Amino acid sequence: MDFNSTVKGSLLEGFYPKGWDMKKIDACCANKPSDITKPQKFWNKDFQPVQCDSLAEFDVKMGHEIANEIKKAADRKEKIIFILPVGPMGMYKWAVYFLKEWNQDCKHVWCFNMDEWADAKGNTLTGDASFQYAMEQAFYNPLGKLTVPKDHRNFATKANLPTYPAKIEALKKAGAKLVLVYGIGRMCHIAFWEPTIGAEFKTDAEWKKQPYRVAVKLHPLTIEQNAITSFKSRTTLVPCRANTMGPGLMFQADYAIGGADGALGRGMQWQGMSLWMTLRYGPNRHVTSSYIPTLPGRLFFLKELAGPLVAEAN
């Protein structure tokens, strides 16, 4: 007795994206934990999942990866572009630490936050619950005199998000490397590009061209994920829409630095299935994160997310 054998006629029938193959998802999650880093045919030859034994190790390694990309670009005397998330967040304090240790400034860095909470008209959240505030407190302000110049920082407001494609294109033409930093949502979104959007397009190629969306409708499980991880379980505080980058910008990255740290304690977690889907489902517009392994880069993940993903007695 399981989901597939009981879903018909239940309240969950039709709840998940139409394009999701639940039997295939179950097969993805049934792999041995020790096989999680085993390369697949669709992976980029320079894609590498990196297992971390603890959250502390995860934060340090991911933070070092970000800081090292900034330093290497400076050593090459090149500009560098970062697409940045607010989640995961622990890596930012370590990126700051390494940059300060190296006395490395960020004058050559341009940053584009991938998303922001919004209402139905695309007006964005302000104040201490906004992603802009979180970025300023975690990364920009602690860097002090070494920080990213203010006119190099971009946030996903209704007015500014549509300028992202031209700005990024101009920087790339000037020789800048584009680095995508990301987390993986419970619904396998990257940024807030929900898998439900896939049903709007006839082909993956058409879907992959989409640069951004204003006031995207968020899936109920995305709301609940953020209620748990960011709002102390208080669903009533979570906006139901967001402005977000799309695959047309994110997946043109030259390098990607990802993180999966969704463990909750006492053996509970929310990100194991999402991680396995990312690594095994294969590129598909109905599973946004399934394109991640096609990019060069590193995906850092907590060891316990590999499973085994099986039921336990309570």
The mean pLDDT of the chain is 97
Q: How confident is the model at residue 313 (pLDDT cuts 50, 70, 90)?
A: low
Does residue 63 belong to any structural domain of this protein?
yes
**Cα 127 from chain centroid (whole Å):** 22
110-126 pLDDT, tens digit each:
999 999 999 999 999 99
Residue 19 DSSP code:
T
174-231 pLDDT, tens digit each:
999 999 999 999 999 999 999 999 999 999 999 999 999 999 999 999 999 999 999 9
* pLDDT above 80 (res 6): yes
For position 311, what pLDDT does the model report?
Answer: 79
Does residue 76 belong to any structural domain of this protein?
yes
Does residue 31 belong to any structural domain of this protein?
no
- The answer to whether the beta carbons of residues 247 and 291 sit under 8 Å apart is yes
Does residue 12 belong to any structural domain of this protein?
no
Pairing outcome for strands 109-113 and 153-154:
parallel
Backbone φ and ψ of 32, nearest 5°: -70, 140
Give the span between the Cα atoms of 221 and 115, in whole angstroms: 17
Does residue 38 belong to any structural domain of this protein?
no
Task: Measure the CA angle with vertex 284, ends 48 and 248; round to 5°.
Answer: 80
Residue 294 DSSP code:
G
25-38 pLDDT, tens digit each:
999 999 999 999 99
For position 314, what pLDDT does the model report?
Answer: 58
Q: Which residue segment(s) compose the domain that 81 sits in?
A: 43-306
Does residue 136 belong to any structural domain of this protein?
yes
**How many domains, in total, are found in the chain?**
1
**pLDDT above 90 as % of the chain:** 96
Does residue 252 belong to any structural domain of this protein?
yes
264-309 pLDDT, tens digit each:
999 999 999 999 999 999 999 999 999 999 999 999 999 999 999 9
Does residue 17 belong to any structural domain of this protein?
no
Please indicate whether residue 312 or residue 311 has the higher confidence score (pLDDT): 311
Strand-pairing partners, residue 47, are: 297
Provide the 10 A C-beta neighbour count for residue 33.
16
Phi-psi region of 115 (alpha: psi -120 to 50; beta: other; left: phi over 0): beta
Here the CATH number for the domain that contains residue 91 is 3.40.50.1360
> What one-letter code names the amino acid at 244?
T
Give the span between the Cα atoms of 43 and 143, in whole angstroms: 35
Residue 150 DSSP code:
G
Phi-psi region of 178 (alpha: psi -120 to 50; beta: other; left: phi over 0): beta
